[in-house]
Structure 1
Amino acid sequence: MRIATGLAFAAMMLGACGGEPPAPAAPAEPVAEAPAPAPEATGANTLTAEQSAQGWKLLFNGTDLTGWKGYKKDKPGDAWKVEDGTLALTAGGAGDLMTVEVYGPFELSYEWKISPNGNSGVIYLIQEDAKAENTYNTGPEMQVLDNDGHADGKIPSHRAGALYDIETPPDGAVKPVGEWNEAVVRFTGSEIEHWLNGKLVSESSYGDDAWKAKVAASKFKQWPLFGTFAKGHIALQDHGDKVWYRNIKVRAI
């Protein structure tokens, strides 16, 4: 009786399986690879020996505004302060804060935190040209924004991580307001990539006909010098809202 029962059970299981081998799993979709992160330093606004060997240079030392100035000015605006080891805009009216040096091609890594309903951005490839009145007349921007609280969050190409007014980032990459976000801008000379919290959120060719068409369809079409330079200054935008930056570093690529 036990033998018969066992045979019946085996037959039942064979029937359930159909005697067929399992179908092979579908191949995984290819995923864009993030830039290799700089090795973690022992503290904020510092570099390890390995980072230095890889060519990373700090743009903010955590204690003062050495290496920074205002756009077409000799020194930073008064409302840019060092606050608890961060580079903070404490009030509007200071003007954009810009590096003294120019960079390109480059990889820029930084962290940002925005205040509720706040707006800022990181602008790059800036030139202090006589025909340009502001940083954004020449340089593209990686948007910094409270997507939920600021009106620009309703405009897809104006959300956090966007190549502002040119490329729309996907949802879900930005952290809630008040939390730190990790950002990377990678500019090769012919391509731009924006990474937010390890996710590729904006990418575009640069300088070719496709780029020129995107600019012509954007608000930047009114400034002929926009997006035409192969190197330039890097700036933190004063949009009138409190914002914090830290661990700002750059390397040539």
Structure 2
Amino acid sequence: MNTETPAATSQNEDGDWKPLFDGQTISGWHTYGKSTAGQAWKAEDGTLYLDPKADEGSRGDLVTDEEYDDFHLKLDWKVAQNGNSGIIFYVKEDPAKYPNTYNSGLEMQVLDNEGHPDAKIVKHRSGDLYDLVTGSPENVKPAGEWNQAEIISKDGKLQLIQNGTQVVDTTLWDDNWKAMVAGSKFADMPDWGTFKTGKIALQDHGDEVWYRNIVIKEL
């Protein structure tokens, strides 16, 4: 793996940023639909690391204990060669109604664009609002290198930022949003894309992925 790292994400001087990961434990997170985090997600070398070789029973998407409405999320991520993951937000944790986090939440795609088959699908590349909006410009770094991601959602305005550049700017919940959802793979998922508060999830897609410097500001 390439070990190149960018400058660490820093908190603003106003003190409103809250760390979601202390760099040492998985406190504040749990596996979707469970009360604790499974062994597949490890706090390792200052990162949250997904070990896809872990026992299947310990696998699953990692979700925050808390819900958020208007927020600004920052984090760093890197993915293994041919890897796939995602940052999913506005997740409603109700496994009986929504079996997976993506059944309710929106996703900023995390992907090795050069190696994963999903990269051949429009709106499935790194930085895209998954299956809805193509991110532009495309500025993801290669597998094994750190990327910086930001998600800003306030009063229905959504911005996705990748490596310091805004790649998605859209509006949630209006008529145009409803039309986009109706034309997507989520069209038949009840309530998808309607929630204005929810949890944040890191996706277990079966590939090695690392996250770090995870902070959030409620807006």
Fold shared by both chains (TM-score > 0.5)? yes
- Alignment correspondent of 2:207: 241
For residues 163-178 of structure 1, the aligned pairs below 5 Å read: 163-178=129-144
1:42-89 superposed Cα distances (whole Å, 9 cap, x missing partner): x958x65x54x3410000000000000011110112110012110000
Which is strand-richer, 1 or 2? Answer: 2
- Deviating above 3 A after TM superposition, structure 1's stretches of 4 or more consecutive aligned residues are none
Letter in 2 for 1:82: A
1:133-171 superposed Cα distances (whole Å, 9 cap, x missing partner): 111111100000000000011112000011000001125
The sequence identity of aligned pairs, in percent, is 50
Task: State yes or no: 1:224 paired with 2:205.
Answer: no
Letter in 2 for 1:117: N
Letter in 1 for 2:217: R
Task: State yes or no: 1:69 paired with 2:30.
Answer: yes
Selected match of 1:153 from 108, 112, 119: 119
- Alignment correspondent of 1:107: 72
Which is helix-richer, 1 or 2? Answer: 1
Which SS does the other structure have where 1:133 is aligned?
Answer: coil
TM-score relative to the length of structure 1 = 0.79
The 1-side partners of 2:117 and 2:137 are apart by 16
For residues 46-65 of structure 1, the aligned pairs below 5 Å read: 50-51=12-13, 53-65=14-26
**Contact 2:157–2:169 (CA<8 Å) still a contact in 1?**
yes
Task: State yes or no: 1:82 paired with 2:46.
Answer: no
The 2-side partners of 1:203 and 1:138 are apart by 20
Displacement of 1:189 after TM fit?
A: 3.1
**Contact 1:189–1:230 (CA<8 Å) still a contact in 2?**
no
Structure 1 residue runs of 5 or longer lacking an equivalent are 1-42
Letter in 1 for 2:51: T
Over aligned residues, Cα RMSD in angstroms?
Answer: 1.6
- Alignment correspondent of 2:160: 194
The 2-side partners of 1:155 and 1:231 are apart by 29
**Contact 2:138–2:167 (CA<8 Å) still a contact in 1?**
no
The 1-side partners of 2:181 and 2:154 are apart by 18
TM-score relative to the length of structure 2 = 0.90
The 1-side partners of 2:143 and 2:202 are apart by 18
Structure 2 residue runs of 5 or longer lacking an equivalent are 1-6
The 2-side partners of 1:155 and 1:171 are apart by 16
